Chains A and B, each alone.
Chain A
Amino acid sequence: MAKLHVFRLLLATGICAAVVQFPEAAFAHVEGEAVSGFFSGLSHPIGGWDHILAMIAVGLWGALLGPPALWILPIAFPIAMAAGGMLGLLGIPVPWVEIGIAVSSIVLGLLILTNMRLSLAVAIPLVMIFALFHGHAHGTELSPRADAVLYSLGFVVATGLLHALGIGVGAVDKLPMGRTALRALGGGVLLGGTYFLIGAFA
């Protein structure tokens, strides 16, 4: 039964990954302006590994923590990210954005690697602060020429799919040696975050 559950989650993960990858394949040579409509919004969060890593890590950590963090973190993240995006769109500066983005991967990677089980009262604000940095970075890059609602919707859906991808991969936790594999992935996120932090200071 548990194996069937894991199979379903892994199947859903594969579909999420395919959907997230789809827009780039469809618009690789068609769209010159890049920022317009749903698929541009969908492809924006997957435009940088620093964002991808952190968003998948949120799902991984949620999977490690289990319910209710499993679904509350992916609910909290998009709202805080959009708030950050709104600040970016309004031209309101947020300090140390690039450092904040890199630190988000480092901290999340460390939490997964050490299997640290923080309470929801700490986990939610922590993830929301990280989301604010990611959202602000995206917000400052957006063009007012695009269809606001469709672009925003695509952007948010892509973020949700990346979380779902993390949760799906996190399903390996239920398999033998799964916890070790998951913690190793946390180590990978930590390394990636360190690389981005060095890049932010360079």
Chain B
Amino acid sequence: MRRSATGVLLAVALCAPTPSHAHLVNSGLGPFYDGALHLMLTPMDLVGLVTLSLFAASQGAEAGRLLVIVTPIAWFLAGAIGVHSQMTGSFAIAIANAGTLVLLGGSVALELKTSSTVAAVAAAVFGGLLGFQSGVELRAADADADWVALIGTVAAVLAVTVLVSALIISYTAFSFRVVQRVLGSWAAATGLLSLGWIVGSGGNLAG
């Protein structure tokens, strides 16, 4: 009963509104924490990362361990390119990120199983994609965004991947697998709607 109540409280907390920030959020604790908060307050990045973690961790403990190593590295390398690029946003990247949700969320919903090598490659590719987008956003939010902010974001990425993969791998109850599949279907559905939105608006979005 207590666990159910915790789950409900967690769900309600996750549903809580998050303010959008045109500028890099100022935590008051310096650029490292500003960067870490940036991930938590950017829905596409966070939802994409959680979906990627769900996908990789549901492939087993080995894939989960690879996810925790590969994703932050890919995020950092691609994020560094994004921070130093002159891009301010890309239609193609927005499409690719929404497509990521469809692909990975759909795989989780269908409970598709793959090898840990494929999961690691997915973590590198999709982690890199999300990282690049995050880097571009960091620069767009704050022209002076530096390495420290990016490292803060990567630390938050590491925390999210560790927490999600630990949760998925340690809870093996059938009901929890159902919850995973439902979350996967929600991610895929969010990706599909976002795809329609991005293509329909020609990339001219508010968010």
Q: What residues make up the interface of A, taking CB atoms closer than 8 Å to B?
A: 8, 11-12, 15, 19, 36-39, 42, 71, 74-76, 78-79, 81-83, 85-91, 139, 142, 144-153, 155-157, 159-160
Whether A148 touches B207, Cβ cut-off 8 Å, given contacts A82-B188, A160-B182, is yes
Query: In the complex, given contacts A86-B192, A152-B189, A155-B193, what are 16 additional A-B residue pairs having Cβ atoms less than 8 angstroms apart?
Result: A8-B4, A19-B15, A37-B17, A38-B15, A42-B15, A75-B109, A82-B189, A87-B196, A89-B199, A90-B199, A147-B20, A147-B43, A150-B18, A151-B193, A157-B15, A160-B186
CB of A38 within 8 A of CB of B17, answer: yes
CB of A89 within 8 A of CB of B185, answer: no
CB of B4 within 8 A of CB of A75, answer: no
B22 within 8 A of partner (CB): no
16 A-B residue contacts at CB 8 Å? A19-B15, A36-B206, A37-B17, A75-B184, A78-B185, A79-B188, A82-B191, A85-B192, A86-B192, A86-B195, A86-B196, A89-B200, A139-B193, A142-B197, A147-B20, A149-B98
CB distance from B104 to the nearest CB of A (A): 13
CB of A144 within 8 A of CB of B185, answer: no
Q: How far is the CA of A71 from the CA of B184 in the complex (A)?
A: 13
Interface residues of B in 49-74 (CB under 8 A from A): none
B residues less than 8 Å from A12 (CB atoms) = 4, 8
B residues less than 8 Å from A146 (CB atoms) = 206-207
Q: How far is the CA of A37 from the CA of B17 in the complex (A)?
A: 8
CB distance from A139 to the nearest CB of B (A): 6
Q: How many chain B residues touch the partner (CB < 8 A)? A: 39
CB of B206 within 8 A of CB of A89, answer: no
Chain A minimum-CB-distance residue to B178:
A71
CB of A148 within 8 A of CB of B197, answer: yes
CB of B8 within 8 A of CB of A156, answer: no
Report the tally of A-B residue pairs with Cβ distances under 8 A.
Answer: 125
CB of A79 within 8 A of CB of B185, answer: yes
CB of A19 within 8 A of CB of B12, answer: yes
B residues less than 8 Å from A8 (CB atoms) = 1, 4
CB of A156 within 8 A of CB of B190, answer: yes
B134 within 8 A of partner (CB): no
B81 within 8 A of partner (CB): no
CB of B178 within 8 A of CB of A85, answer: no
B172 within 8 A of partner (CB): no
CB distance from B25 to the nearest CB of A (A): 16
Q: How far is the CA of A8 from the CA of B196 in the complex (A)?
A: 38
Most buried by B among A11, A19, A38, A75: A75
A residues less than 8 Å from B15 (CB atoms) = 19, 38, 42, 157
* Interface residue from B47, B181, B189 paired with A81 (Cβ < 8 Å): B189
B residues less than 8 Å from A19 (CB atoms) = 11-12, 15
B86 within 8 A of partner (CB): no
Q: How far is the CA of A144 from the CA of B198 in the complex (A)?
A: 8
A residues less than 8 Å from B109 (CB atoms) = 75, 79
CB distance from B12 to the nearest CB of A (A): 6
CB of A149 within 8 A of CB of B181, answer: no
B residues less than 8 Å from A37 (CB atoms) = 17, 20
CB of B193 within 8 A of CB of A74, answer: no
Q: How far is the CA of A89 from the CA of B200 in the complex (A)?
A: 6
